[in-house]
């Protein structure tokens, strides 16, 4: 966990509303929830309602608040947006406008202790929950960066009627389900209180643990980490290093096998016609980022190397880097030509077969260059591994 920057000691007044909510729900969870379970027990319906509301709220934050509204990584049907707005209110993490405003500031000023609302450089506790229980200047609400969202009538409605929606979903829904099931208190404790506490801290883990524990394969310019274990609990948000570097991509777990149920939900919505314009970073750019980090690691090893032949290794590394830069230059040139020729084809209404032939040849070359970067990255991985072995011996 980063600790090089001293923590900011800022005297700020207590923010009583979240403090009372967090402390009371946590206290009930560790006392009344187990006591009621021991005395009366919880039935299958109550556990099912708990699980369903837990997932609905969690995905409404990740697929709705985060990837839809904060980063605009895709567009969704009004019914989907209304659904996410409803269950996002049930997650009790503030309105869409306020949540997204803070998150956009976090991305723009990540790790800046005075401007990042939940900077990890102010400590794990601060990033997790401390930033909300006091009125710090870095967390002050400023909606100037969400003017695009204020044009969404669903977002405006949720912001205006946020408190009634919170009460209806967090109290009304569990009480109604409990009444229908014959046990109001059991349902309220599980689907209401315990579910809310878990929803809160799962989201908070992304701000704290995902900036403190894991790897940084895509960029080392900020503290965001990729952690597959945290992805299991955060609906795929654990691949946080990728997200901070490619925040416009609707995926966090970019590999097909990486656990990212939020990505799968968005893709399913698109398949059903309920989402569109899903944004994806080109695979070449992903390989470029991975390779840049590998070069940084290799150079760091060489700069601190005790080996006698370090200069020869450095020359070999620079030759690899020159090849890398040549490939990047060709990719940029080819992409520019592809965009220009596509515009010309549309303007002149060229024959579809001719355009298809051109696009196929260009895509083939793009794939070849992507493969070149993959192979180069594998060579660098071997270089770094062999180098570490030599130094160790």
Secondary structure element (H or E) that encloses residue 323, with its range: helix 310-348
In a domain, 351, yes or no: yes
Based on the fold, state whether residues 201 and 306 are members of the same structural domain: no
pLDDT (0 to 100) of residue 351 = 52
CA distance 173 to 161: 17
Domain contains 52: yes
Judge if 111 and 20 occupy the same domain: yes
One domain, residues 257 and 220: yes
Same domain as 231, residue 346: no
Same domain flag for 141 and 202:
yes
- Do 68 and 152 have their domain in common? yes
Those residues with Cβ within 8 angstroms of residue 199's Cβ, 6 or more apart along the chain or in another chain: 54, 57, 58, 61, 91, 92, 93
How far is Cα 393 from Cα 391, in angstroms, rounded to an integer? 5
Buried/exposed code over 310-320 (b: 16+ C-beta within 10 A; e: otherwise): eeebeeebeeb
Q: Which of 230, 258, 276 is the last residue of a domain?
A: 276
The verdict on residue 9 lying in a domain is no
pLDDT of residue 296: 84
196 and 303 fall within a common domain: no
Same-domain check for residues 153 and 197: yes
pLDDT of residue 389: 58
Instruction: Measure the CA–CA gap between 278 and 269, rounded to whole angstroms.
Output: 10
What total of structural domains would you count in the chain?
A: 2
For residue 2, being part of any structural domain is answered with no
Q: Bridge-partner residues for 226, per DSSP?
A: 215, 239
d(CA 383, CA 377): 10
376 found inside a domain: yes
146 and 100 in contact (C-beta within 8 Å)? Answer: yes
Does residue 226 lie within any of the structural domains? yes
Sorted by sequence, the CB contacts under 8 Å of residue 101 that are 6+ apart come out as 141, 142, 143, 145, 146
* Ranges of H-type helices in 91-238: 96-108, 124-125, 131-133, 153-160, 162-167, 173-181, 184-187, 195-207, 228-233
Last residue of a domain, one of 276, 311, 333: 276
Residue 83: inside a domain: yes
Burial of 95 (0-12, 13-18, 19+ CB in 10 A): buried
Series of mean pLDDT values for 10-residue runs along the chain (393 residues)? 48 92 98 97 97 98 98 98 98 98 97 95 96 94 96 98 98 97 97 98 97 95 96 97 97 95 98 97 88 83 69 75 78 74 62 54 72 75 63 51
Same domain, 208 and 302: no
Residue range of the domain that includes 104? 16-276
Q: Are residues 271 and 304 in the same domain?
A: no
Give the model's pLDDT for residue 7: 46
Residues 36 and 74 in one domain: yes
> Is 129 domain-assigned?
yes
Domain boundary among 250, 276, 302: 276
Residue 148 shares a structural domain with residue 200:
yes
Residue-level pLDDT at 56: 98
Rounded Cα distance between 324 and 301, Å, is: 19
**What global pTM score does this model have?**
0.86
């Amino acid at each position: 966990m980063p600790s090089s920057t001293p923590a900011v000691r800022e005297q700020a007044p207590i923010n009583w509303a979240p403090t009372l909510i967090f402390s009371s729900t946590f206290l009930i969870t560790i006392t009344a929830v187990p006591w009621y379970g021991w005395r009366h027990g919880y039935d299958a319906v109550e556990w099912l309602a708990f699980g369903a509301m837990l997932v609905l709220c969690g995905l409404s934050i990740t697929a709705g608040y985060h990837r839809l509204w904060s980063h605009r990584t895709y567009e969704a049907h009004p019914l989907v947006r209304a659904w996410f707005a409803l269950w996002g209110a049930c997650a009790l993490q503030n309105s869409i406008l306020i949540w997204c405003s803070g998150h956009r500031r976090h991305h723009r000023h990540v790790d800046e202790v005075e401007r990042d609302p939940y900077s990890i450089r102010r400590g794990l506790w601060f990033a997790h929950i401390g930033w909300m229980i006091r009125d710090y200047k870095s967390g002050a609400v400023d909606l100037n960066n969400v003017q695009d969202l204020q044009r969404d009538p669903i977002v405006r409605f949720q912001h205006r009627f946020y408190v009634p929606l919170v009460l209806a979903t967090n109290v009304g829904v569990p009480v109604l389900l409990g009444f229908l099931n014959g046990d109001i208190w059991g349902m309220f404790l599980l689907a209401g209180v315990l579910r809310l506490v878990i929803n809160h801290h799962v989201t908070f883990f992304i701000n704290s643990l995902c900036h403190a524990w894991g790897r940084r394969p895509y960029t080392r310019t900020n503290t965001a980490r990729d952690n597959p274990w945290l992805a299991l609990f955060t609906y795929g948000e654990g691949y946080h290093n990728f997200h901070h570097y490619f925040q416009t991509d609707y995926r966090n777990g970019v590999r097909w096998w990486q656990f990212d149920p939020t990505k799968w939900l968005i893709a399913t919505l698109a398949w059903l016609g309920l989402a569109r314009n899903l944004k994806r970073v080109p695979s070449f750019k992903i390989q470029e980022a991975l390779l840049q980090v590998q070069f940084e690691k290799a150079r760091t090893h060489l700069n601190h190397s005790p080996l006698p032949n370090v200069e020869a290794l450095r020359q070999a590394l620079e030759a690899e880097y020159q090849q890398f830069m040549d490939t990047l230059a060709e990719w940029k040139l080819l992409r520019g030509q592809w965009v220009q020729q596509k515009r010309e084809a549309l303007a002149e209404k060229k024959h579809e077969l001719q355009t298809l032939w051109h696009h196929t040849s260009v895509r083939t070359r793009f794939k070849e260059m992507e493969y070149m970067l993959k192979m180069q990255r594998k060579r660098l991985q071997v270089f770094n591994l062999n180098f570490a072995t030599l130094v160790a011996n």
